[in-house]
Amino acid sequence: MRNKPLVGISADRTTIADHPSHVVGEKYIAAVVDGSQALAVLLPALGERQSPEDVLSIVDGLLFTGSGSNVEPHRYGGEPSAPGTLHDAARDATTLPLLRAAIAAGVPVLAVCRGFQEMNVVFGGTLYQSVHAMAGFNDHRENKEDCLDVQYAPSHSISLTRGGFLQRLAGGANEARVNSLHGQGVQRLGVGLAIEATAPDGLIEAVSVKDARAFALGVQWHPEWKHAGDVLSTAIFRAFGDACRDRMRTRAGDGAAFAAATRA
């Protein structure tokens, strides 16, 4: 029996030196390994070649990462994207059915940035493709000319929903400060999702899945960045890891019970 839970981390499909490749940023791996005290396995974006059931049979939790690509608008009935918008059809074909199946199966899920948007789409929600172009909203994008420490520095406050799951993780705090590195955002909230936090301009910054059987949280910001130095980020990855450990123990118990039954 393993001592640590196994967390699957969604990968992007991209091209490196003319070779199709599947990649995950090390910051996500480090947050799972160090912040959640779990083992990490990278899940390639193979679409129908990799069934959600096969993935869920081996993992104790799933982290859906951020990405430079956007969910294809036809996935939520949106208008065609502006020229030059980066999409990743292979990731969409992998993560959307996998996220849906994971929630249904009670597998712990943490969804970050693009993953947060995927969660909203899975539950029937829609997305703003360019938040900064919408009246009444601020520009939530980073300045890509800045160094990473500046890009990922806290950018604005969020208001935590009173009595919500995220507020409990935050020790009862009403507000927190988060980074902001996204162009898209939630337009219509998916059915079955609860708002956990909002930005000063009203944009939804975090959601949870109502009546989920396990940890199911999506956040628009990047808690994986230097997670150990931020109280809320530390709490998020610790709670996610605890949920994954609970699932690991449950699976181990079910397996032992089945083995005992077959020997009887």
CATH number at residue 250: 3.40.50.880
Q: Is 26 a catalytic residue?
A: no
193 membership: H or E segment, kind and range: strand 193-198
pLDDT at residue number 217? 98
Provide the 3-class DSSP secondary structure of residue 8.
strand
Q: Label residue 211 left, alpha or beta by phi (over 0 means left) and psi (-120 to 50 means alpha).
A: left
Catalytic residue, candidates 205, 222, 227, 244: 222
* Any domain includes 240: yes
Q: Is 222 a catalytic residue?
A: yes
Q: Identify whether the C-beta of residue 242 lies closer than 8 Å to the C-beta of residue 249.
A: no
Alpha carbon dihedral 22, 101, 167, 177, in 10-degree steps, equals 20
Q: Are strands 204-209 and 216-219 parallel, antiparallel or unpaired?
A: antiparallel
Distance of CA 143 to the CA centre of its chain: 23
Q: Label residue 168 left, alpha or beta by phi (over 0 means left) and psi (-120 to 50 means alpha).
A: alpha
Question: Which tokens belong to 113?
Answer: 């940035």
pLDDT at residue number 253? 82
* Any domain includes 17: yes
pLDDT at residue number 259? 55
* Any domain includes 1: no
* Any domain includes 165: yes
pLDDT at residue number 263? 60
* Any domain includes 207: yes
- pTM, rounded to two decimals: 0.95
Q: Is 244 a catalytic residue?
A: no
pLDDT at residue number 258? 44
How does pLDDT run along the chain (264 residues), one tens digit per residue?
Answer: 689 999 999 999 999 999 999 999 999 999 999 999 999 999 999 999 999 999 999 999 999 999 999 999 999 999 999 999 999 999 999 999 999 999 999 999 999 999 999 999 999 999 999 999 999 999 999 999 999 999 999 999 999 999 999 999 999 999 999 999 999 999 999 999 999 999 999 999 999 999 999 999 999 999 999 999 999 999 999 999 999 999 999 998 876 554 555 566
Number of domain units in the chain: 1
* Any domain includes 15: yes
Residue 3 amino acid letter? N
Catalytic residue, candidates 72, 118, 196, 224: 224
Q: Identify whether the C-beta of residue 107 lies closer than 8 Å to the C-beta of residue 59.
A: yes
- What is the crossing angle of helices 114-122 and 89-105, to 10°? 60
Provide the 3-class DSSP secondary structure of residue 158.
strand
Rounded Cα distance, 86 and 182, in Å: 13
Domain span holding position 164: 6-262
Pick from 91, 105, 220: nearest CA to 155: 220
Give the helix, strand, coil percentages of the chain, each rounded to 5. 35, 20, 40
Catalytic residue, candidates 113, 118, 205, 227: 113
pLDDT at residue number 255? 64
Reported as a single tens digit per residue, the pLDDT across 19-47 is 999 999 999 999 999 999 999 999 999 99
